[in-house]
Amino acid sequence: MKKILITALTVALLVACASLHASGQVALPLYADDTRPVEERVEDALARLTLEEKIALLHGQATFSSAGVPRLGIPELWMSDGPHGVRAEVAWSSFAEAHWTNDSCTAFPALTALAATFNPDMAYLYGKAIGEEARYRKKDVLLGPGVNIYRTPLNGRNFEYMGEDPYLASVMVVPYVRGVQENGVAACVKHFALNNQEEARTSVDVRVNERALREIYLPAFHAAVTGGNAWAIMGAYNRHAGEYCCHNERLLQQILKQEWGFTGVVISDWGGTHDTHEAALKGLDIEMGTRKPFTAYYLADSLLAAVRRGEIDEKVIDEKARRVLRLITRTVMNTRRPWGSFATSEHAETGRRVAEEGIVLLKNDGALLPIDPSRIKTIAVIGENATRRLTIGGGSSELKVKREISPLEGLRERLGGRVKIVHAAGYASGPPAYGRVLPAPGNADALREEAVKVAANAELVLFFGGLNKNYRQDSEEGDRLDYNLPFGQDRLIEELLAVNKNVVVVLLSGNAVAMPWIRRVPAIVQAWYGGSEAGNAIARVLDGTVNPSGKLPFTFPVRLEDNAAHAFGTTAYPGENGVESYLEDILVGYRWHDTRRVPPLFAFGHGLSYTTFEYGKPSTDKKTYARDEVIRVRFALRNNGKMAGSEVAQLYVSAPGALVPRPAKELKAFTKVALQTGETREVILEIPASRLAYWDETTSGWKIEPGKYTLQTGSSSRDIKHRVTVTIL
């Protein structure tokens, strides 16, 4: 608290000095006058620093803080996890909770839920709201969002990311970053790059060809930098081509800073730095989390000694200090940034809206959903996830929340006055355990038997299962060990079906799961981790107040071995002898399933509604386009059902005559369209011809191959409605 008060006083003094300077009463240094251009202020400040002060800027001084320059009144930087909420305060030099009483935040839905909205407007509202919370808590850097690609359903951190498709992630990350940074808080986009598993994450050496790197794993980062103007990037724990990603010449220097023109700061993941000279010379700017005294960090005393010995040029230090000063100027020394707000009703509403739009109706045979209370007297709510807190656990994304509405609470609030609701846990897992497995409380057989009895006496069963934030589930530092549901849930679902055929399965998770019972379950809902308002959002979708409109941001394979990363054995996942080869190349997710004709359980982009939509035949402005033109695809979309609803109209492109291997189809445009009952609207999707390029490894650049391209409109990668062909000259 003392540090934050000092920072606030510093800013107040700067504002006062600026006023005096404007009136001619005092000469204010350029670096402290935020009416001057940022670069002038940065260069002025840099010229005033000693070597020791420059180096002090480059490493942590606390668990989540890096130093300023007290002599000159330049304040320190304060950082915070995470991607879907501002983490509780921790101790100065450890991750132990500080036990403040005023740091209970809003938990926003996990980023898989945001991606499932397929709605950039929701991404902006999300970023703006979480940025306001970070600003209120006096955080200068928010460690998120995460845009690593969903490669395997075993990855413990998939719930923190935006799915398997690079175009979808690119479209969604830009407004998120802009929303955060409007508050004068830097978005730190992570984890750059190829951090696609938690297994051996701090050591595995990822080998991937340049084309797959460019087409699949880098686009979302590129969009965040060039489209979102992200002020910070976090390096990844893993290695790529033999070098750690937190100091990787190819990724950080050549691609990020030189090729993309990134002007921000590269921050290490906590403990991701391994060598002084490597870190200094290969792109790292701020080192965080190294587990030794702060002065013993690689970019601390040992770096100072290396410069004094002439091993590292001071110009290298200047460039790093320049970037850090630029970040300080953009954030904590920006006296015009708003004050922010924290855990407000407006933020809760934003979270609920995102959760509602992200919920995916996977299956709805019969008339179970939406729930009609006039036809049902008793609902059995089964499953631990109906009541379990899902904002705790998971690693660095764990949150201390102001409130968290469970599904059971949400259902009782909306339906409790009209329907009898009975709950039975049915199964139980241990409490959240980061880094270890704790035994489940209670007797599994007794819990299951009680749930079956409750289900037998109800007209409708709502089973709330899935995963949770325990280690080896959706959690940092360890991948899942099994594709099936844990804690005997598959057996429980089968036994529930044996006594009651009206079972709705609601999955709360950030990952795909196997569904051996799928043919017998009439309705399935993917509800993700919905944050503070999860229960209200789920209840409003189940009772039809909200018509579901979410779409899957990744493919659900039938079996684990149907996933591309698992089709090549341990060489491709989790790696052998410390090396992992991405042998599936560019065929990640639906690209693999559609190209290799491997039927998915549920396709990328899939999501049903309580209404029905009709797609008209598409047309284009013309049939032939130059490489610098924009293709406009037009078609009618009609709501033929009895409810207002929204549909995500998707456009996929294939190049059947391509001379190089191309996926069967790739998402290249989408839009979310809200339609009233009976309403028809013209949809226009634009595709710059440049979006059809592939990475040519022979020329090390993007290339648009001339020829015919098939444009396919549909509601998922497997539900294609119509096609139209154009030619690129």
Q: Are 283 and 253 in contact (CB under 8 A)?
A: yes
Please state, in angstroms and rounded to a whole number, the distance separating the CA atoms of residues 629 and 620: 13
Please state, in angstroms and rounded to a whole number, the distance separating the CA atoms of residues 467 and 397: 16
217: which DSSP letter?
I
Q: Are 202 and 170 in contact (CB under 8 A)?
A: no
Please state, in angstroms and rounded to a whole number, the distance separating the CA atoms of residues 114 and 160: 10
DSSP 364-376: E-TT-SS--GGG-
Please state, in angstroms and rounded to a whole number, the distance separating the CA atoms of residues 495 and 604: 30
3-state secondary structure of 312: coil
Strand partners, 189: 233
628 is catalytic: no
Please state, in angstroms and rounded to a whole number, the distance separating the CA atoms of residues 21 and 27: 6
3-state secondary structure of 116: helix
Strand-strand pairing, 360-364 and 523-526 = antiparallel
Q: CA-CA-CA-CA torsion for 270, 273, 274, 276, nearest 10 degrees? A: -140
Please state, in angstroms and rounded to a whole number, the distance separating the CA atoms of residues 505 and 322: 54
Token pair of 552 as six digits: 């899957």
Please state, in angstroms and rounded to a whole number, the distance separating the CA atoms of residues 185 and 655: 42
Which phi and psi angles does 671 have, rounded to 5°?
-155, 150
Strand partners, 674: 646
Q: Which residues contact 12 (CB under 8 A, 6 or more apart)?
A: none
| Closest by Cα among 37, 80, 5 to 232 | 80
DSSP 451-469: HHHHHHT-SEEEEEEE--S
Query: Which element (helix H / strand E) includes 694?
Result: strand 694-696
Q: Which residues contact 5 (CB under 8 A, 6 or more apart)?
A: none
Q: CA angle, corner 87, sides to 84 and 91, nearest 5?
A: 160
3-state secondary structure of 259: helix
CA distances from 166 to 159, 211, 455, 658 (A): 16, 13, 42, 21
3-state secondary structure of 470: coil
Q: Which residues contact 31 (CB under 8 A, 6 or more apart)?
A: 41, 42, 44, 45, 48, 72, 74, 325, 329, 333
Q: What is the CA radius of gyration of the chain?
A: 26
Residue 431's Cβ-count burial label (10 Å; 0-12, 13-18, 19+) is middle
Question: To 10 degrees, what angle do helices 219-226 and 166-181 make?
Answer: 30
| Closest by Cα among 78, 285, 309 to 186 | 78
* Catalytic hit among 33, 103, 140, 269: 269
Please state, in angstroms and rounded to a whole number, the distance separating the CA atoms of residues 543 and 536: 11
3-state secondary structure of 552: coil
| Closest by Cα among 635, 636, 605 to 719 | 605
Token pair of 146 as six digits: 């995460």
Residue 238: how many other CB atoms lie within 10 Å: 26
Burial 566-579 (b: 16+ CB within 10 A, else e): bbeeeebbbbeeee
Query: Which element (helix H / strand E) includes 53?
Result: helix 51-56
Residues with a known catalytic role: 269
